Structure formats: C-alpha cells, structure tokens
Amino acid sequence: MYHPELLEGEVAVITGGGSGLGYAIARDFVSLGAEVVITSRSADRLADAEARISDETGRSCDSVPCDVRDEADVSRLRDYVLARHNGATIIVNNAAANFFNRAERMTRRAFDTVVNTDLYGTFNVTRSLIPEMLAAGRGTILNITVPMPEVGFPGFAHCGAAKAAIVSLTATWAYEWGPRGIRVNGIAPGPVPTEGVAANMLAVDNAAEAFADHTGFVPLRRLGRPEDIAAAAVFLCSPASSWVTGQNLIVDGGVYLNTPATPGSF
C-alpha cells in the first residue's frame, strides 16, 4: 500500500503500543522504516509486542515501560528517546483507559481514572517531547480521539469529556505550532473490536461477537480492523499529508452518518 521506506528517518513514540490500535500503528511504522519506541505500563506486554513486531516485519523496535499519568515516568521516557534517538519526530498519543459507567453512578475516582490517562497522558507526553521537535522545526503529533464528541458518548462520559478536550488540544496545538513546522491531527476510530474494547468497554471476551449486530449501522457493512486505523495513521504521519493539520479524521466505515439520527448506537 505504501512505499517500504516511506517513514525512513522518522522516530515515532507510540503510547499504548503494546496492543490493539497502538500495536497495529507501531507495526506499520516499523515496516515502513521508522525507528519506533512503544510504551505501556506492562513490561511483559511490551516484550511480547517487540517479539511479534520483529517476527511480522523483520525489523525491531524499542520499548519503554511508562505510565503516561506519571510525570516522572514520562521524563524517563523522554530521556530514553533523547539518548537513543536524539528526540522524536512523531508522537502518537494512543494510551487510554475506558470502561462503561452510567453518568449518575460515576464517581470522581472513576472520572479521574480515564481523564488522567487519556487527557493528561496526552498532554504529559506531548509536552515532554515537543521541545526537540520545535528546535528542529519539524514533527508530527497524532492523537487518538472519538468521532463527533459533540454528540456525546452515552455510558462513557469520562472518556467523552477527555476525548473532546483532546480534539480541542489538537486544534490549538496545530494553530500554535504550525508556524514552527509541527503538524497535529487526530484519528477518530469507529467500532474496531480489539481486546481492549472487549475487556474494558464491553466486559466480554469477544468484541467481534458483541459488535456483530451493529454492522447494519455501518454503511460499509463491516467492522473496523486495527489495520484500518494504522493505515490512516501512516497517512497523517507521512509526507503524503504534509499540508494537513488540525483535523480530526473519522475512520469508522461511515457510522458517523447515522450518528445524528441514532446517537449512542455504538
């Protein structure tokens, strides 16, 4: 699909890169020539991801255990990236927490759990790695968001609030840092049945089965795959999108077309 050296010379830091969408993005970036550093709170998950990427691409990546909520952890991540790669040229803010919780039952602790990971994690990692990008006068930031946050996210108010704020950050950063050579965009995935969705959002073992009845709401009549999101991430982090910034790209098979009529369908 893409030239095998499309991302040659890029250094990408991908949070939440040990599984799901983050893993798919990391694998594609590695296969296209980027130097990639993946993060996760789980060292075991990172080790498994490194091995799988090597097996699937024939190339290696680096990993650093990191809790994006913890500024000390993020500082250690920055130190590693500086020492190993002289800084990042791409940041993919994918690390996220999420779980179903009705608004009237949501505690402050539950709200903070998601907001601290999704919103503050995105801020912490970007703020830590951006100085070298600004000094170099080039770089790309990609934030994982949600489609149309303005219509709400029933059952997931904490995530909806965090992601809406990230959409705003995306636009603000794009405006402020654009004159200094930095592009900032978001990807808003639709229904992609990953293991994280299954365990954290649906509390089931098989997300594909849980989502099976919803394919009728998808104009393209299939659920998404991690590869669909990864392909969009490659586009937004490559020279192919060199005049694109401040966008929140919906990648959902057309589900958003139904959203005004059927809010909360997914």
pLDDT tens digits along 232-251: 999 999 999 999 999 999 99
Q: Is residue 142 helix, strand or coil?
A: strand
pLDDT tops 70 at residue 75? yes
Retrieve residue 36's tokens. Answer: 């990639």
Predicted TM-score (pTM) of the model is: 0.93
Q: Is residue 42 helix, strand or coil?
A: coil
154 touches 148 (CB < 8 A)? no
The contacts of residue 112 (CB under 8 Å, 6+ apart) are none
**Domain membership flag for residue 160:** yes
Average pLDDT over residues 107-117: 97
**Domain membership flag for residue 3:** no
Q: Which of 49, 44, 43, 41 lies closest to 18 in space, CA to CA?
A: 49
Domain count, the chain: 1
182 touches 90 (CB < 8 A)? no
Average pLDDT over residues 249-264: 76
Q: Judging by beta carbons within 10 Å of its beta carbon (0-12, 13-18, 19+), is residue 213 exposed, middle or buried? A: exposed
CATH of the domain at 48: 3.40.50.720
- Range(s) of the domain holding residue 172: 11-192+227-254
Task: Give the per-residue pLDDT at 179.
Answer: 98
Mean of the per-residue pLDDT values of the chain: 92
**Domain membership flag for residue 197:** no
Q: Judging by beta carbons within 10 Å of its beta carbon (0-12, 13-18, 19+), is residue 59 exposed, middle or buried? A: middle
pLDDT tops 90 at residue 199? no
pLDDT band at 41 (very low <50, low <70, confident <90, very high): very high
**Domain membership flag for residue 215:** no
**Domain membership flag for residue 243:** yes
pLDDT band at 266 (very low <50, low <70, confident <90, very high): very low
Q: Is residue 239 helix, strand or coil?
A: helix
Q: Which of 49, 86, 182 lies closest to 127 in space, CA to CA?
A: 182
Place of tokens 């990191």: 66
Sheet with 90-93, strands from edge to edge, namely: 62-65, 35-40, 11-15, 90-93, 139-144, 182-189, 248-251
| Torsional sign, CA 188, 192, 196, 202 | positive
